[in-house]
Amino acid sequence: MASLVETSRTTPPRTRDIARNAGLFLVTFAVFVAAWEGFLRVLDISAILVPSPSSVVGALHTSLTTRPTGPGSYLSGAVSTYAAAISGFAIASVAGVLVAIVLAQSLTLERILVPYIVGFQTLPRIAIAPLFIIWFGNETESKIILATLVAFFPVLMNSLAGFKSTPPERIEYLRTLGATRLQLFWRLQLPGATPYVFAGLEVALVFAILGVIVSEFVGGRRGLGVLILQSHYSIDVAGVFSVFVILIVIGLTLRMLLVGARKRVAFWAEGEDSAAL
Amino acid sequence: MTDFADRPTAGTQTESPGGVPVVEFQGVSKTFTTRSGESIEALRDVDLSVQPGELLTIVGVSGCGKSTLLRLVAGLVQPTSGRLLYEGEERTGARDDLGVVFQESVLFPWRTVLDNALVPAVIKRARRAEVEPRVRQLLADVGLSGFEKKYPFELSGGMKQRTALVAALSTEPSVLLMDEPFGALDAMTREQMNVDLRRLWQERSNTIILITHDVAEAVFLGTRALVMTPRPGRIKADMEIDLGAERDISLLGTAEFATLTGKVRRELDMN
Ligand SMILES: Nc1ncnc2c1ncn2[C@@H]1O[C@H](COP(=O)(O)OP(=O)(O)OP(=O)(O)O)[C@@H](O)[C@H]1O
Ligand SMILES: [Mg+2]
């Protein structure tokens, strides 16, 4: 019976790719650190302006060993910052997707509300941070609210674009099968929008962390942003950089979790794995 | 599977008992209004009756209203004037008792071959356990066994259209609408698909309306072929294709086949 034997395209071996990417990363990272250290020595730049990689590692080591836990430690700072950032991110994600779903159902609603949303979006939301400190105090609430607010828009706008990107011929196809509106949504619009939603979530994650750090700068009592300021005031540039290292490491980890989730949920939209991290 | 010697073949349908057309167009016209406000007359005064068990092929140049005609049958658009009858009755709204295979593959990239083929069953809330064995059998029939768990991006164009065809047949519709289903395929794959479609049609007793812009395809597949004029589309010629019930690829090289394609091509060119 089988008349045409067609072979399916095979996927490239993934583990080899990962190993190669990791190797490449280690090499470039080593070169980068060496170049950094080398430049500082050759150009004789003061360690007060730009710390050397070795002094950053030193500062990091000292902070982690002299005060591993408790108030003012990197650990409690990171917990405070990321608890707020992840809460804000989570609230913004749920709210952003839900509002996008509502807006996608009615063109009228979208026409009425989108100008307000875009208008509000053009206001640099970071500028509201001082106000939030006044309104909600210098505790976690302020941080979460600012993080939510800055992370909300990328989720909303990307999800909305996703819900509206449903190819009309697919809608028509389901209509010829007698699909209800609800079926159209669950079976077609929602799964089709997931790559867009994830694109929004990836931006939102960065924005949420940004929001928390800004909130901490403006008037926080705890968190990595506060630690940066403290090092800054004591002109401890290596200390500032050592917090950057923590921010980068945790930020990358969270991002990789998100990318991992995207690759599981929206695997079918992975054209090319361009972004390794 | 079934003995197809007793199937009605071309020319015998019109005298079949009952003889109620599955679909009937009575003076149907369709004019679209574009966003910029201009009117486009896609179809003008189409009279057509489709008999049960027929494999009706429709050829015409691009933009002559072929897809519009099919969309009318599917109830996706309504006629501007004229009437459309289903088994002698007028009905309104989208039809959900038809199978459709569109020009573009409408497979869902997040569903496997099997799950894509089960989409109509899911939408119609049929019991999966009832439909799945039939769908698996259909997949095997079109040469897709072993590919049930593959995703569309892992398939060739031909395999995607086979999957779409299986999906369309999964709920055993009495009428199958196909809009240039093999248009995007290379010539060899297309010929093979044609042979397979003929076989599938002979094993079942669906009525098929198939749109194409390929004259050879229209003649090879059809028990009856219609030629449409350029826009506004009207039916220009209506030909019975007396090439017998059993057709295989060797038919493409015969003189009768050449004569018939020549006839259809002349009708198309005379526009
Ligand atoms: N929804 C619509 N709104 C406005 N005009 C339309 C619409 N659908 C089709 N048309 C117009 O009607 C005419 C016929 O379109 P149709 O899609 O039926 O052509 P076709 O014969 O299927 O062409 P092709 O072979 O290229 O698929 C075209 O001029 C097209 O622009
Ligand atoms: Mg068309």
Task: Tell me: do A20 and A97 sit in the same domain.
Answer: no
Residues of chain B with pLDDT under 70: 1-18, 93-94, 271
Q: Which residues of B touch A188 (CB under 8 A)?
A: 108
CA atoms of A229 and B251, how far apart (whole Å): 84
Range of the domain at A245: 57-276
Residue A135 has pLDDT above 70, yes or no: yes
Amino acid at A118: V
Whether the complex's predicted ipTM is more than 0.85 is answered with no
Please tell me which residue of chain A has the smallest CA distance to B141: A1
Q: Looking at residue B13, what is its pLDDT?
A: 42
Q: How many CA atoms lie within 13 A of A73 on its CB side?
A: 12
- Element spanning B177, H or E: strand B175-179
Evaluate whether residue B103 is within a structural domain: no
**Amino acid letter, residue B141:** D
Q: How far is the CA of B165 from the centre of ligand 1 (A)?
A: 23
| A-B contacts at Cβ under 8 angstroms | 76
- Residues B197, A258: Cα–Cα separation, whole Å: 45
Domain end residue (candidates: B122, B148, B173): B173
If one compares B171 and A2, the residue with the highest pLDDT of the two is B171
B71-108 CB burial, b ≥16 within 10 A, e <16: bbbbbbbebbebebbbeeeeeeebbbebbbbbbbbbbb
**pTM of the entire predicted model:** 0.83
- Cβ neighbours of B26 (radius 10 Å): 15
Place of tokens 């015409």: B60
- Cα separation, B102 vs B181, whole angstroms: 6
Smallest Cα–Cα separation from A156: which of A209, A108, A113, A210? Answer: A113
How much is the pLDDT for B185? 85
- Kindly state whether residue A50 falls inside one of the protein's structural domains: no
Q: Is the pLDDT of residue A259 over 90?
A: yes
Domain shared by A111 and A18, yes or no: no
Tell me which residues of chain A, numbers 6 to 65, contact chain B at a CB-CB cutoff of 8 Å.
Answer: 6, 8-9
Residue A173 belongs to domain with CATH number:
1.10.3720.10
Band of residue A8 on the pLDDT scale cut at 50, 70, 90: very low
Residue at a domain's end among B157, B173, B189:
B173
B1 inside domain: no
B90 and B207 fall within a common domain: yes
| pLDDT value, residue B171 | 87
- For residue B198, the chain A residues in CB contact (below 8 A) are none
Q: Are residues B41 and B123 in the same domain?
A: no
Q: Are residues A19 and A130 in the same domain?
A: no
Q: How far is CA B132 from CA A48, A159, B99, B100, B246, in A?
A: 71, 34, 17, 19, 30
**What is the domain count for chain A?**
2
Query: A96 in a domain, yes or no?
Result: yes
Task: Give yes or no for residue B202 CB within 6 A of ligand 1.
Answer: no
CA B208 to chain centre: 5
Range of the domain at B255: 6-97+176-269
- Could you report the per-residue pLDDT of A169-184, keeping only the tens digit for each? 899 899 888 899 999 9
Q: Mean per-residue pLDDT for A60-68?
A: 88
Tokens of B74: 């599917």
Whether residue B32 has its Cβ less than 6 Å from ligand 1:
yes
In a domain, B119, yes or no: yes
B8 vs A81: CA distance, rounded Å: 76
In a domain, B87, yes or no: yes
Whole-number pLDDT of residue A220: 82
Contact B28, B81 (CB under 8 A): yes
- Residue A238 lies inside a defined structural domain of this protein: yes
Please say if the pLDDT value at position A163 is more than 80.
yes
Same domain, A24 and A125: no
